[in-house]
């Protein structure tokens, strides 16, 4: 049976396709594979990867439709094969065996770079079990990602049960959800993943509104005495006084007498002052007062 003739692979489509392409370098196989499938699908060329090569019509055949389909398939196969090769780095291209059809060539690429089911399933399972929500916020996205990883395991016959996934999600929640976990464990009813998602979002909103989900801010360099109490002010004054050196610590050579205005002694040690006090009769009176 002759298949439907595909749309033409026009030159503008080829140029547009080549402008946005991912080159396979050995580390980006999943992204490269998806990009190849997307572009071939948009260009109506993916059918050559899904159908077998049609038999060549006999020279004397009068089946016009069969001839057109064969010619179209061969043309699109050559262009698809060329498109795939141009999306592979030259250092890798030489290690892939030559193939006549794009389907065979892509299968050869898949054998070299596509991870095995056991390897891929183990990686996804490890990522799922190790996931943790580090803080309040983004709970919905966190649970949806865990559910997506769980659904990916289905193709590897490793999909966990719904209740196992519910428990994994609960274990991945931060300590702020501890009361929520206790509440779940004390109820007899079991929640589905959708019900758990809805309840977790509600609990997250409650925590944020109560302020329990907000991170504690450290106010560095701020005094604990924000009100400026008298006790704090007195302590500051005492500290400032301690910084002033006592008078006895001054060097006598730099001292200046306030009486005779000469350096080298203090006023109470000044001989001229003592003589002046004696003449005024104030020396004995000052000594009695000081006693």
pLDDT of residue 269: 79
Residues with Cβ within 8 Å of residue 158, at least 6 apart in sequence: 121, 124, 125
Q: Which of 16-20, 177-181, 218-222 reaches the highest mean pLDDT?
A: 177-181
Higher pLDDT, 18 or 207: 207
Cα separation, 197 vs 153, whole angstroms: 20
pLDDT of residue 75: 93
Q: Which of 9-23, 222-236, 275-289 reaches the highest mean pLDDT?
A: 275-289
pLDDT of residue 189: 85
Tens-digit pLDDT profile for residues 102-115: 999 999 998 888 77
Contact, 28 vs 22, CB < 8 A?
A: yes
pLDDT of residue 235: 59
Looking at residues 285-290, what average pLDDT do you find? 51
Contact, 76 vs 8, CB < 8 A?
A: no
Residue 49 reports pLDDT greater than 80: yes
Residue 68 reports pLDDT greater than 80: yes
Residue 12 reports pLDDT greater than 60: no
Q: Which of 100-109, 210-219, 261-270 reaches the highest mean pLDDT?
A: 100-109
Mean pLDDT of the chain: 78
Question: Could you tell me the pTM of the whole model?
Answer: 0.46
Tens-digit pLDDT profile for residues 145-182: 999 999 888 877 888 899 999 999 999 999 999 999 99
Residue ranges covered by each domain of the chain: 11-113, 117-210, 251-291
pLDDT of residue 146: 93
Residue 251 reports pLDDT greater than 70: no
pLDDT of residue 188: 80
pLDDT of residue 156: 77
pLDDT band at 229 (very low <50, low <70, confident <90, very high): low
Residue 15 reports pLDDT greater than 50: no
Looking at residues 42-57, what average pLDDT do you find? 90
Tens-digit pLDDT profile for residues 122-142: 888 899 999 999 888 889 999
Residue 283 reports pLDDT greater than 60: yes
As beta bridge partners, residue 263 has 256
pLDDT of residue 116: 64
Tens-digit pLDDT profile for residues 187-201: 888 889 999 999 999
């Amino acid at each position: 049976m002759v298949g439907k003739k595909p749309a033409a692979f026009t030159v503008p489509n080829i140029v547009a396709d080549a402008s946005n392409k991912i080159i396979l370098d050995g580390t980006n196989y999943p992204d490269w594979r998806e990009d190849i499938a997307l572009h071939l699908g948009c260009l109506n060329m993916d059918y050559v990867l899904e159908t077998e090569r049609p038999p060549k019509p006999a020279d004397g055949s009068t089946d016009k439709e069969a001839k057109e389909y064969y010619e179209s398939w061969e043309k699109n196969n050559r262009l698809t094969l060329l498109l795939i090769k141009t999306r592979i780095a030259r250092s890798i291209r030489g290690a892939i065996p030559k193939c006549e059809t794009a389907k065979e060539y892509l299968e050869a690429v898949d054998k070299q770079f596509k991870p095995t089911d056991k390897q891929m399933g183990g990686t996804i399972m490890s990522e799922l079990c190790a996931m943790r929500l580090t803080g309040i916020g983004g709970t919905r996205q966190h649970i949806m990602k865990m559910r997506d990883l769980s659904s990916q395991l289905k193709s590897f016959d490793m999909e966990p049960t719904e209740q196992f996934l519910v428990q994994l999600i609960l274990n991945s929640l931060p300590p702020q959800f501890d009361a929520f976990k206790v509440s779940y464990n004390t109820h007899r009813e079991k929640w589905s993943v959708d019900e758990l998602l809805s309840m977790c979002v509600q609990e997250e909103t409650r925590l944020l509104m109560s302020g329990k989900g907000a991170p504690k801010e450290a106010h560095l360099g701020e005094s604990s005495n924000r009100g400026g109490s008298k006790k704090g002010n007195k302590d500051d004054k005492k500290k400032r006084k301690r910084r002033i050196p006592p008078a006895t610590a001054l060097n006598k050579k730099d001292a200046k007498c306030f009486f005779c205005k000469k350096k080298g002694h203090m006023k109470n040690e000044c001989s001229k002052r003592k003589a002046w006090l004696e003449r005024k009769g104030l020396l004995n009176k000052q000594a009695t007062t000081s006693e």
